[in-house]
């Protein structure tokens, strides 16, 4: 075989693996838990309309398709309200197949009832719900799984994850579509778009706790000329960073804080919550593939083991009894001891990741490991 044939064969094998190879459902199970409240939050504007006695067809509305099925107002309200328990069931993982089908069904139907319902955050919710619908995400971290274990017939915790890889592609489309379109828009690159927006809402900034110098800085066109380029580069960096394993932590870290900032600064509805939750899909879909040996006879060891058990939501670690300082054996066999083991373990905890990730940088890593090491040697 020539080298190009080998490459083609390798590519084909990787593509087939997406559809055939069973991988861990853990990340999707965790995503399912977070998506329930996000569905509820996304319903708020529709529930407010309902409380005022209105629905979309009371006045002008713009159907996507003339043939799309519609129902009378009272039935619409009943279907809307029924989404609340369905979203709660989705999070709890009880009757998950029904709950995810109902949530997907209502969110999709409601979205396509009227073109004015279109918003990017709702589109992304629809995409995420579709991925959950297409995978048995209720088999893990769910009451369904607990009930099945009690019956003595545990549910499989692995499945082919092609829908998750499709969701990864969609996530990349979000960042590349957004960053790319801004890159090719001269007004955006020049900072005019963000500058104009800040000037229009400057009165809100002046009423806020922001110091005067900060308001003045944000109102400068020259600031936006630089800021716009940073914003575009950030979105493109997130996309490229998430694609490659070596840069994935950096991509996920930047994405987290990027979404926090836009969630605070802009009216993006549920987008930030959803985008942060969806970062879970970038975790390698395997579980317990690292071993963490901890000496639980010491108070420090006991505390660390408890912390790992509570925060290892993606089940990265297999905890085993150890002696002396903690010892982490990575997937490929490399070992880390003491502070280095603890630092690497914390980096894999979804809740700690956004705060500890900078300590993975070479200079900061040395300081963090030295501090953690002192704990184990004192």
Partner 1 sequence: MRRLLPRVSFVVVVALQVYFIARGTSDPHKHFAWRPFNESDTWSADVDRITRDGRRIPIEEPWAGYVWGELVRQRGLGVPRGWRHASSGAKSTRAFLQEALDWVATHTPEDRETLYYEAQFHFTRNRRGPYTVVLRSVEREVP
Q: Report the interface residues with partner 1, using CB under 8 A.
A: 18-19, 54, 56, 58-62, 114-116, 118, 120, 123, 160, 162-163, 165-166, 169-170, 173-174, 176-178, 180-182, 185, 187-188, 192-194, 196-197, 200, 266-268
CB of 209 to partner 1, least distance (A): 23
Shortest distance (Å) from residue 211 CB to partner 1: 25
Q: How far apart are CA 123 and CA 12, in angstroms?
A: 31
3-state SS of 324-356 is: CCCEEECCCCCEEECHHHHHHHHHCCCCCHHHH
User: What is the closest distance, in whole angstroms, from the C-beta atom of residue 375 to partner 1 in the complex?
Assistant: 45
Q: How far is the CB of 256 from partner 1 (least distance, A)?
A: 18
What whole-number distance in Å separates Cα of residue 329 and Cα of residue 339? Answer: 14
Per DSSP, the chain holds a count of helices (H) and strands (E) of 18, 6
Q: Which residue lies nearer to partner 1 by CB, 15 or 98? A: 15
**What are the residues whose beta carbons fall under 8 Å from the beta carbon of 293, sequence distance 6 or more?**
320, 321, 322, 323, 326, 327, 328, 329
Q: Based on CB atoms, which residue is closest to partner 1, 55 or 106?
A: 55
The DSSP 8-state label assigned to residue 184 in this structure reads T
Which residues have a Cβ under 8 Å from the Cβ of 13 and sit 6 or more positions away? none
With respect to partner 1, which residue has the nearer C-beta, 265 or 364? Answer: 265
What's the closest the beta carbon of residue 62 comes to partner 1, in angstroms?
Answer: 5
Least spacing, CB of residue 190 vs partner 1, in Å: 9
Our CB check for partner 1 shows the closer of 127 and 308 to be: 127
* Contact indicator for 351, 338 with CB cutoff of 8 Å: no
How many Å apart are CA 317 and CA 320, to the nearest integer? 9
For partner 1, give the closer residue by CB, 71 or 266: 266
Between 116 and 208, whose beta carbon lies closer to partner 1? 116
């Amino acid at each position: 075989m020539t080298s190009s044939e080998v490459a083609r064969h390798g590519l084909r094998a990787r593509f087939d693996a997406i559809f055939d190879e069973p991988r861990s459902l853990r990340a999707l199970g965790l995503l399912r838990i977070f998506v329930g409240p996000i569905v509820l939050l996304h319903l708020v504007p529709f529930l407010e309309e309902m409380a005022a006695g209105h629905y979309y067809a009371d006045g002008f509305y713009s159907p996507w398709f003339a043939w799309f099925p519609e129902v009378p107002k009272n039935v619409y309200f009943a279907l809307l309200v029924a989404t609340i328990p369905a979203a709660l069931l989705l999070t709890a993982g009880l009757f998950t197949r029904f709950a995810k089908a109902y949530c997907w069904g209502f969110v999709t139907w409601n979205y396509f009832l009227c073109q004015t319902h279109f918003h990017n955050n709702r589109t992304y919710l629809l995409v995420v719900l579709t991925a959950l619908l297409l995978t048995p995400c209720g088999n893990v971290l769910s009451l369904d799984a607990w009930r099945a274990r009690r019956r003595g017939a545990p549910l499989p915790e692995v499945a082919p994850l092609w829908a998750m890889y499709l969701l990864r592609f969609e996530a990349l489309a979000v960042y590349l579509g957004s960053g790319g379109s801004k890159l090719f828009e001269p007004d955006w690159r020049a900072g005019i778009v963000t500058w104009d927006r800040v000037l229009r809402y400057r009165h809100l900034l002046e009423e806020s706790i922001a110091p005067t110098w900060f308001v003045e800085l944000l109102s400068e066109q020259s600031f936006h000329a630089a800021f716009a380029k940073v914003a575009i580069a950030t979105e493109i960096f997130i996309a490229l960073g998430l694609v490659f394993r070596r840069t994935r932590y950096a991509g996920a870290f930047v994405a987290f804080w990027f979404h926090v900032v836009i969630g605070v600064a802009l009216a993006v509805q549920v987008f930030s919550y959803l985008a942060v939750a969806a970062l879970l899909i970038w975790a390698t879909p395997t579980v317990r593939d690292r071993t963490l040996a901890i000496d639980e006879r010491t108070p420090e060891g006991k505390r660390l083991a408890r912390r790992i058990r509570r925060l290892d939501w993606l089940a990265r670690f297999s905890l085993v009894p150890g002696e002396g300082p903690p010892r982490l054996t990575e997937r490929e066999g490399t070992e880390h001891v003491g502070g280095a083991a603890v630092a690497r373990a914390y980096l894999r905890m979804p809740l700690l990741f956004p705060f500890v990730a900078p300590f993975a940088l070479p200079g900061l890593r040395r300081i963090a490991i030295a501090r953690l090491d002192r704990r184990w040697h004192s």
